């Protein structure tokens, strides 16, 4: 008696499984490429130094505002000693900035400074004479209307054995704009840094 062959049946589920695996593979490829594409499409414009305007972009990569570091006075010593003495071992740096609003109103923002040793310092508060404050008011960008400019000063405590290297503007949560890069030499892509 001849042996009975067992027939291998193909279920419709096998075709669906193949389609699901192919779909998962394509979805994985898209997911891995999408963050890189989004990162590359976001302009990263950084200021070269004082006087260089830097464009601020919205989440749709449309230019909305412009920030300019006009001048850096470091060490800054024209402060009220009784109320604004820097922490021992530090000195003040005064940074004069200008914000020019684009087509939309602007409100808010803050600054941070990266020193020559790579440490981040957030803007501080310095008490000055009324004459100094009148001549150069503190930077305050509240309700800046389209086309309007606001100029003022911000202050940073800087470690005595260091100096400001990068001034960054934070227009909104999650966004940092390099407003000025004061480094004499910069690392290129691929350089080993320590």
Note whether 177 and 140 are same-domain residues.
yes
Residue 34 has pLDDT above 70, yes or no: no
Note whether 113 and 162 are same-domain residues.
yes
Report pLDDT for 12.
56
CATH number at residue 126: 2.60.40.1240
Mean of pLDDT values over 173-185? 88
- Cα–Cα dist 40/31, whole Å: 15
Q: Where are the alpha helices (DSSP H) in the chain?
A: 12-41, 81-84, 130-135
Query: What is the number of structural domains in the chain?
Result: 2
Question: Which carries the bigger pLDDT value, residue 103 or residue 44?
Answer: 103
Question: Which carries the bigger pLDDT value, residue 111 or residue 60?
Answer: 111
User: Has residue 5 been placed in a domain?
Assistant: no
Specify which residues 153 forms β-bridges with. 96, 138
Note whether 35 and 123 are same-domain residues.
no
User: Has residue 103 been placed in a domain?
Assistant: yes
Q: Which domain holds residue 33?
A: 12-41
Query: In the 8-state DSSP scheme, what is residue 128?
Result: -
User: Has residue 47 been placed in a domain?
Assistant: no
CA-to-CA dists, residue 121 to 9, 59, 159, 181, 182, angstroms: 70, 26, 10, 15, 15
CA 152 to chain centre: 20
Of the candidates 36, 32, 10, 47, the residue with the CA atom closest to the CA atom of residue 178: 47
Counting residues of the chain whose pLDDT is more than 70, the rounded percentage is: 75
Residue 149 has pLDDT above 60, yes or no: yes
pLDDT digits (tens, 9 = 90+) for 94-129: 999 999 988 888 888 899 999 999 999 999 999 999
Whole-number mean pLDDT of the chain? 81
Note whether 88 and 154 are same-domain residues.
yes
């Amino acid at each position: 008696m001849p042996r009975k062959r067992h027939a291998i049946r193909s279920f419709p589920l096998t075709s669906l499984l193949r389609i699901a695996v192919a779909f998962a593979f394509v979805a994985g490829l898209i997911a891995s490429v999408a963050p890189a594409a989004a990162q590359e499409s976001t302009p990263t414009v950084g200021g070269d130094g004082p006087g260089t305007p830097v464009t601020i972009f919205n989440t749709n990569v449309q230019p909305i505002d412009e920030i300019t570091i006009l001048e850096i006075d470091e060490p800054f010593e024209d402060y009220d000693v009784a109320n604004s003495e820097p922490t021992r071992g530090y000195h003040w740096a005064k940074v004069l900035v200008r914000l020019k609003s684009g087509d939309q109103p602007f409100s808010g923002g803050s600054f941070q400074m990266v020193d020559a040793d790579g440490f981040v310092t957030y803007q501080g508060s310095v008490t000055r004479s009324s004459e100094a404050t009148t001549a150069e008011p503190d930077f305050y960008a509240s309700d800046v209307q389209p086309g309007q400019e606001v100029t003022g000063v911000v202050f940073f405590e800087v470690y005595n054995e260091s100096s400001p290297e990068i001034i960054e503007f934070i227009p909104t949560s999650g966004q940092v704009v390099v407003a000025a890069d004061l480094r004499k030499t910069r690392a290129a892509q691929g350089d080993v840094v320590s």
